[in-house]
Amino acid sequence: MTFKSEHLYFIAIVPPGDISGQITALKLYMSEKFDTKHALRSPPHITLHMPFKWKPSKQKALEQALLQLSESIQPFTVRLNNFGCFPPRVVFVSVTASQQLTRCFEKTERTMRSLNILNANYKGKPFQPHVTIAFRDLKKEKFKQAWLEVQTKAFKEDFMADAFVLLEHFQPEKGTPYWEVVKRYPFGG
């Protein structure tokens, strides 16, 4: 058995079960119809901080920082509103931007910077909250078909964001890699 020197994590808001179920059904549909499976490797989520590596020896510092962060955020409403895309590969459920969600993202970024965990890939790009239903392995020609199919469909749901979660990446020796929630951090203590 080998031990990883670093673990791979990301931080996100996960919608409640009923809404997550609806979004997972969309991911399954996209997978079956457009041959894209990567979105199925994680629960439906709004990313607050993209994947980062962290040493197990520093786990307590990370957990303490995330606990303090979550206690500083009050629950807020998240509105899911139809579909959007980032050509040439990403299709998603749109999230209506709000001051509360943007503040949550900004606080998360400040906390991660204080731990010297930086998102170089997002540097200079504005926060664009969304819930991905197809990406990475969606072929460019199938992206156009997928986007044509969902761009005029309605998807409207609201939920109370009352926590964020820490997800960890798992790579089984045999089987498909996946992301799993390993800790939930309720807002407001």
Query: 2 lies in a domain?
Result: no
What is the C-alpha separation between 131 and 47, in angstroms, rounded? 8
Enclosing domain of residue 14: 7-67+75-186
Q: Which two tokens stand for residue 183?
A: 């800790």
- The per-residue pLDDT for range 157-168, each reduced to its tens digit, is 999 999 999 999
Query: 24 lies in a domain?
Result: yes
- The per-residue pLDDT for range 26-58, each reduced to its tens digit, is 999 999 999 999 999 999 999 999 999 999 889
Total tally of structural domains belonging to the chain = 1
The rounded mean pLDDT for the chain is 93
Query: 13 lies in a domain?
Result: yes
Pick the closest to residue 16 from 163, 123, 177 (CA basis).
163
- The per-residue pLDDT for range 64-82, each reduced to its tens digit, is 999 999 999 999 999 999 9
Question: What is the b/e burial string over 86-110, where b = at least 16 CB atoms within 10 angstroms of the residue's CB?
Answer: eeebbbbbbbeeeeebeebbeebbe
- The per-residue pLDDT for range 132-155, each reduced to its tens digit, is 999 999 999 999 999 999 999 999
88: amino acid identity, one letter: P
pLDDT greater than 80 at residue 2: no
Q: Which residue has the higher pLDDT, 6 or 165?
A: 165
Which pLDDT score is estimated for 1? 38
Residue 18: phi and psi, rounded to 5, are -65, -40
Q: What is the four-CA torsion angle of 36, 22, 188, 109, rounded to 10 degrees? A: 20
Q: Which two tokens stand for residue 43?
A: 């629960």
CATH of the domain at 85: 3.90.1140.10
Q: Which residue is listed with tokens 């992206």?
A: 143
Query: 1 lies in a domain?
Result: no
